[in-house]
Amino acid sequence: LSLESQRLNGNLPKNIGNLTALEIIDLDYNEFVGTLPDTIYALEKLEQLDLNNNYFYGTINANIGDMLSLEFLQLHNNKFSGTFPRTLVFCPLAVAEFKNNDFVGHMPLCVGAPWQTVEAITCDCATGEVTCDIGCQCQCF
């Protein structure tokens, strides 16, 4: 599902979770608002979730850890808030982009950690609101 830069607006429909064969959701550069529907976390085949440059807000549900195919998570330039779910470590992420949101707390992902496949993380580490876990020697870009 690739609908980037289409000036789409409103909330992401709850029935998006019914599209169980989806591998890509690319909705960047639109005008979506609201929280992510809980049903999105049931998309087990989803490999790429690109929601950057919209107006999404709220927290990321811990059920994101159920997305066992998710390799690319791009949430930058929204208004997401809260802490990063520890369950992010269960996603086989290669790229995770969180910058320009209102996240706080510890980033549970690690670049170069032997148990994770993460190649790049972007988040707002410079503000002091987000830190990487000390025990895993991760880096924030």
Distance, in Å, from the CA atom of 80 to the CA atom of 43, rounded to the nearest integer, reads 20
What digits encode the pLDDT tens for the residues 63-72? Answer: 999 999 999 9
Indicate the pairing of strand 95-97 with strand 120-122: parallel
59 DSSP 8-state letter:
P
Question: Is the confidence at residue 31, as pLDDT, over 50?
Answer: yes
What digits encode the pLDDT tens for the residues 76-111? Answer: 999 999 988 888 888 888 888 888 888 887 777 765
The pLDDT, as a whole number, for residue 86 is 86
Distance, in Å, from the CA atom of 121 to the CA atom of 138, rounded to the nearest integer, reads 9
User: Residue 137 carries which side chain, given as an amino acid letter?
Assistant: Q
Output the DSSP codes for 3-57: -TTS--EEEPPGGGGG-TT--EEE--SSEEEEPPPGGGGG-TT--EEE--SSEEE
Distance, in Å, from the CA atom of 119 to the CA atom of 42, rounded to the nearest integer, reads 25
Name the token pair of 81.
């808030």
Rounded to 5°, angle at Cα 11 from 28 and 99: 40
Question: Is the confidence at residue 127, as pLDDT, over 70?
Answer: no
